[in-house]
Amino acid sequence: MTRHVLYKALGGIAASVAALLAVGWLVFVPSPKEPPYAFVAAWGGKGDGPGQFNDPTGIAIAGDEVFVADARNGRIQVFDLDGNFKRQFGRPGTGPGDLGRPMNITVAGGELYVAEYWNDRIQVFGLDGIHRRYVGRKGSRPGAFNAPGGIAVSPAGDLFVADFYNQRVQRLKADGSFVGQWGTTGETGIGAGSFNYPTDVAIGSDGTLYVADGYNDRVQAFAADGRFLRKWGGPFAVNVHGPFAGWFATVTALAVDAAGNVLAADFYNNRVQKFAPDGTFLTAFGGEGKGRLRHAMGVAAAADGAVFVTDFDNNRITKWRPSDDR
């Protein structure tokens, strides 16, 4: 009789756990709303020659050109949308035009903005590769950086910088003067508006600021007036990492596509995930099949819907298209 009761109790516990797991799966692992993107092409290979890479990190599109930060080679390489090499500029160093571990990059107003992780500055180039100016300096004071990881520029020209080791995102005027910040300088946190090594930022056409909260394994969104809007990535978006749909294992870059959707480079999950502006999971690609990524580092979206991804371990660039494209 006692054994019968014990079996019954164990059976009940097992059923409860299974039910909880099923509910958890339904609640925290969303189904894709779109098919995965289709692999189009890849180019690169390890080296320091034209078209080769030694740690490709950031990537950005300007018209019909693809700009890639080639971090260990200390340069920017430029390709056409089919991957044909066009030109390069920069070399390792600290002077004007030199680059110290360039990370995520962005193009705005006909200029290229490069977050220099080692030189603690944003360097601005003409699209022809000519150095134009610096923004920022080393430090933790307002307007200074400790390893900037990424940058976005608002339509009004304000700069938003993911200030990695300072655990904050800064908003600056175009001349570098401080406007405000999100996060507490030098302090990590998992609450809304706190960061755990922010790696990149992107801005939607409505002014929404998206932050890749790198080691918190989530994305946070803020309104144009600075208000926290939402966060997503795993259960409750509180630094729970995993391989499931909508979860992350270190977000290293963000891009907003022409439709306003958010693309996130999900580094250790070897994929790019796509979300609606409200954080709804749409699809993921790159984790398997043709074009399989080995650590997705950077992501950029072209006006025609194509998406370009820096495939870090493979030292190459991959190009993708929505599957329903004709």
Partner 1 sequence: MNTLSRFALAILATAWFTTAALAAGPSYRLEVAGLACPFCAYGIEKKLNAVKGVERLETNIKEGTVIVTMKDGVTLDKATAEQAVKDAGFTLNGFKQVSPGDSQ
> How would you class 9 by CB atoms within 10 Å of its CB: exposed for 0-12, middle for 13-18, buried for 19 or more?
exposed
- CA–CA separation, 169 and 248 (whole Å): 20
173-202: contacts with partner 1 (CB under 8 A): 197, 199
- What does each C-alpha distance from 54 to 70, 88, 227 come to in angstroms? 6, 14, 39
Min. distance of Cβ 172 from partner 1 in angstroms? 21
How far is CA 247 from its chain centroid? 14
Check residue 117 for interaction with partner 1 (CB under 8 A): yes
Check residue 39 for interaction with partner 1 (CB under 8 A): no
Check residue 281 for interaction with partner 1 (CB under 8 A): no
Q: Classify 159 in phi/psi space as left (phi over 0), alpha (psi -120 to 50) or beta.
A: beta
H or E stretch covering 26: helix 2-28
Q: What are phi and psi of 110, to 5 degrees?
A: 75, 20
Measured from the CB atom, is 37 or 312 closer to partner 1?
312
According to CB under 8 A, which one of 248, 267, 275, 320 is a site residue for partner 1? 267
Check residue 147 for interaction with partner 1 (CB under 8 A): yes
Min. distance of Cβ 147 from partner 1 in angstroms? 6
Check residue 55 for interaction with partner 1 (CB under 8 A): yes
Measured from the CB atom, is 30 or 214 closer to partner 1?
214
How far is CA 210 from its chain centroid? 10
- CA–CA separation, 310 and 318 (whole Å): 6
Measured from the CB atom, is 85 or 268 closer to partner 1?
268
How far is CA 300 from its chain centroid? 9
Measured from the CB atom, is 255 or 302 closer to partner 1?
255
Measured from the CB atom, is 40 or 69 closer to partner 1?
69
Check residue 268 for interaction with partner 1 (CB under 8 A): yes
**Contacts to partner 1 by CB under 8 A:** 55, 57, 71, 101, 103, 117-118, 147, 149, 164-165, 197, 199, 214, 250, 252, 267-268, 295, 297, 312
